[in-house]
A and B are shown apart, each in its own frame.
Chain A
Amino acid sequence: MNAKGQRENFIDIMAGFTVYTGKYLPDDVHAKLKELREKEDSALATIVYDAMFEDLRLAHELERPLCQDTGVIQYFIQVGTGFPLIDQMEECLVEAVKKATVLGPLRHNAVEVFDEKNTGNNVGKRIPWIDWEIVPDNDEATVYVYMAGGGCSLPGIAKVLMPLEGYEGVVKLVFDQITSYGINACPPLLVGIGIAGSVEVAAKLSKKALLRPIGSKNSNPRGAELEARIEEGLNALKIGPGGLTGENSVMGVHIEEAARHPATIAVGLSTGCWAHRRAVIKFNADMDYEIISHKGVVL
């Protein structure tokens, strides 16, 4: 395939995959929701879970976005320095979003700041948001698609704590935010926490925590233990699906961290709703792809 053909091919696959992300939940989220649904027996929780699974069925049958809020499109990319399209990644992903918006169709979700105009094609200043990780001595690319909906972005917060507030301050901030804003953000939520030395690092890590598969653990034993304790604690509040009370509150709690400054503990919080549309695709240098998040799927 020549370079132009490769570029067009990549754009088409990414447009199709972005559309796909809005229609089908990833395997891990689907499995977790099934597990949580089986634990519920109250009337309201049952009605809400029934509605959710009926929605997933209809979205599949009618091939439509399962939630109308297809979000601001964010791409988290891990690109090998030898990946043939590395220089064109950004323009290719912008093109893919334009195409996906028509193909999906996706909702128009890019409003220019200050001008306050919706661009109508999901492309705007710095949007789609692209987060780069460069992988040396490698010719592959892994792309995470994340649809950042408004509802699940609303509970987001980041703050720098004084060290003497300690990790207790982190725990308190998470619980305060989930019991106030979180209940309106389509629980059961996936909770992402970033801990670092400054606010932007903590915030970014909190979103990266949401990209980890449900059930995965923090690499530090203390981190993994804290994840489990916060998950158990949030579930003990029995927020339930839709905040209407139930046996559980969350699909999981993930923490990602960076070494902090001695004088600061920064904490970031991001939440994913039950319709956590996060999808992962991996390309080799020939543009052959494998979909990681939805096993066995071919576009």
Chain B
Amino acid sequence: MKTKILTTPIQDEELELLTVGDIIYLTGYLITSRDDVHQRLIKQHKQLPVDLAGKAIFHAGPIMQEIEGQPGKYRVISIGPTTSMRMEKYEKEFIRQTGLKLIVGKGGMGQNTAAGCREYKAVHAVFPGGCAVLAANCVEEVEQVEWLDLGMPEAMWVMRVKEFGPLIVSIDTKGNNLFENNKKAFNLKKDAVVEEICRYVDYLE
């Protein structure tokens, strides 16, 4: 297990050194993009208002607060990761079209994303779920917000972050997939465990 700091714009060569299970910290630009942003780009073919090339996206819907006396200027209150698997359907194409390099989220993603990470050199990493104040503490500034018409959780929040982490690499540029491997291990044990419990539940008369 290695520990490394990545800075945007992220270079392919740096990403290629990473393996699932490594710990990384991100410095630079992190932009929230979740269900509706994926939907607008991939399904509705709308142009993204933010250039994501070389940057990191965050599967997250934050609590932001407008700063008093500064209309349109926000500070982050709480921003943890959301379930990445929801974006699985569009993520490969999203990586291809945007040139993003790092996807930060929660839990695993599937084969489609793993293929995207392999073909276009990107990495999926997880921030510990629920740890939203810890994450907010790594945000230096919320620089801009786009598509606020989608509501606070779904808008694109452009943040400058410093040593944002810990991020655990879950899909690397070789297409290795930590959560899929874990799932296989859990499923291998599952049948024997279920069978054992079922020996004791024959309650029907």
Residue ranges of A at the interface with B (Cβ–Cβ < 8 Å): 43-44, 47-48, 51-52, 54-55, 58-59, 62, 64-70, 104-109, 111, 117-118, 120, 150-151, 154, 163, 166-168, 170-172, 175-176, 179-180, 183-186, 222, 225-226, 229-230, 233-234, 236-239, 241-245, 273-275
Contacts and interface: CB of A to CB of B under 8 A. Distances in A.
A163 B205 CA distance: 11
Contacts of B168: 44, 47, 242, 244
A275 B130 CA distance: 7
B45 to A, nearest CB: 19
Given A185-B107, A245-B182, A47 B132 contact: no
B77 interface: yes
Given A48-B128, A106-B63, A120-B151, A186 B106 contact: yes
Nearest to B62: A68
Contact of A179 (B128, B190, B196): B190
A44 B137 CA distance: 21
A233 B60 CA distance: 32
A265 B166 CA distance: 44
The CB with the most chain A CB atoms within 10 A, among B1, B82, B134, B178, is that of: B134
A111 B150 CA distance: 10
Interface in B167-205: 168, 178-179, 182-183, 185-187, 189-190, 193-194, 196-198, 200-204
Contacts of A243: 107-108, 179, 182
A67 B203 contact: no
B78 interface: yes
B190 A51 contact: no
Contacts of A273: 129-130
Contacts of A275: 130
B164 to A, nearest CB: 12
A166 B196 contact: no
A83 B164 CA distance: 50
Contact of B77 (A52, A65, A171): A65
Closest 3 CB pairs of A and B: A184-B107, A118-B151, A167-B201
B23 A47 contact: yes
B61 to A, nearest CB: 7
A238 B183 CA distance: 11
B129 A151 contact: yes
Contact of A245 (B1, B128, B153, B185): B185
Residue of A44, A66, A229, A243 most packed against chain B (CB within 10 A): A243
B142 interface: no
Interface in B79-95: 79-80, 82-85
Given A62-B133, A107-B78, A186-B130, 19 more contacts: A54-B134, A55-B131, A55-B134, A64-B77, A64-B136, A65-B132, A68-B77, A69-B132, A104-B63, A107-B61, A107-B62, A151-B82, A168-B194, A168-B198, A183-B179, A226-B201, A233-B197, A237-B186, A242-B129
B132 A186 contact: no
